[in-house]
Structure 1
């Protein structure tokens, strides 16, 4: 299903690129506000020194992948340096605690979103379309909802917008966002990370993009997640 491209993407990309450069680091549209913690939090997985070293050795790969980020996904930045994200924790579609280590062998596009974040809502149909076309044994879009409270509001949004392919991943504690913020990867929402089959971060971006187009598909293929 074709997804209509939004005129908002180019303008927001310019703002976000300026923020990354440091010019607007304190004024960029950050959509995360203080939220009360929930009572569900997946346990962190340990990351070995071997994992850390293996990811750090992929600097050239990360630069090559980021060089493929053009057009609608041009705001994707190379991981500098690549780091292991195996320990990132959230809940799976059945509500069970998991970490990214549980998706070993798959290239993952990890996206954090919330119903109160307008740009997040705008890009969800495109993420759904990307998962519908490329999702499988080699690739998955993992869109993690970070709304506080229960599941009623995010599930209603997904139903009303016919998001029928993405799994319902969840973290109502904001622990996942705060971990990415601590690592210098998250300014606000949405935030999207491209992670290889060994759990290594290759590229990342803050802000929305049209994930249903050819630009996104080329980027995913460069990271080893093509169909």
Structure 2
């Protein structure tokens, strides 16, 4: 049967074409999962690879009381870490996050730390001093809006965002962020 033999009006054909083009556009605009599960070894074995998604909230308070956005880091691979001053595993892993920042900052990896819930700024600074943190940001999610939008249920909780700002992986719990397997995982994310 030829196309001209079908009883399809021009508006139906245009609608079908529009839906087809929309589907193609969505497919092309959605980044593929960037991480190979074979990279999940050692301290990264607990990492969960996600189909790329964006949080519905992306703002947090910066140390200077202005609002920051996750989109401020577009173009970099972001290691987004939620922590709290009262969290012992957060204290244990924070030096490795500082080491990761020092090792991979020039490669396009940004470690973004966000304190979960209400915190006294002086306690946050003391936490940084005690843990030997020198260059990680002191951001705050006082109302936990960002954390809730991302599904944080315990601390520490760390997300990997690709260069386009989509979450591609997450790890609930403590990890060694300066371990060789972590660096390999982040290099793979940078290559996408």
Relative to the length of structure 1, the TM-score reads 0.67
Number of residues paired by the alignment? Answer: 170
CA contact (8 A) 2:33 2:52 kept: no
Q: Find out whether 1:58 has 2:31 as its counterpart.
A: yes
Residue 128 of structure 2 aligns to a residue whose secondary structure is helix
Measured in 2, the distance between the counterparts of 1:215 and 1:55 equals 30
Q: Aligned pair in 2 of structure 1 residues 143, 55: CA closer, same or farther (>3 Å)?
A: farther
Structure 2 CA distance, aligned partners of 1:137 and 1:102?
17
After superposition, the C-alpha distances for 1:61-91 in whole angstroms (9 at most, x for unaligned) are 34xx443221111111110x31124841112
1:138–1:87 Cα change, 3 Å: farther
> 1:169 Cα deviation (Å)?
1.6
Superposition TM-score, scaled by structure 2 size: 0.78
Q: Which residue does 2:18 correspond to in 1?
A: none
1:199-214 paired onto structure 2 within 5 Å: 199-214=165-180
Give the gaps of 5 or more residues in structure 2.
Answer: 1-21
Task: Determine the structure 1 residue equivalent to 2:70.
Answer: 100
Is 1:71 aligned to residue 42 of structure 2?
yes
More strand by share: 2
Which residue does 2:153 correspond to in 1? 187
Following TM superposition, the consecutive aligned residue runs of length 4 or more in structure 1 with deviations greater than 6 angstroms are none
Contact 2:85 2:119 in 1 (8 A): no
Unpaired stretches in structure 1, ≥5 consecutive residues: 1-48
Partner of 1:18: none
Root-mean-square deviation (Å) = 2.7
Are 1:146 and 2:116 an aligned pair? yes
Change (3 A) 1:59 1:168: same
Say if 1:85 and 1:166 are closer, same or farther in 2 by CA, change over 3 A.
Answer: same
Give the drift of 1:56: 7.5
- In 1, the alpha carbon distance for the partners of 2:141 and 2:74 equals 20
In the TM superposition, residue 150 of structure 1 has moved relative to its aligned partner by 2.7
Task: Tell me the SS of whatever aligns to 1:61.
Answer: coil
Instruction: Give SS of 1:126's match.
Output: helix
Query: Deviation per CA, 1:27-82, whole angstroms, max 9, x where unpaired?
Result: xxxxxxxxxxxxxxxxxxxxxx9xxx4798334434xx443221111111110x31
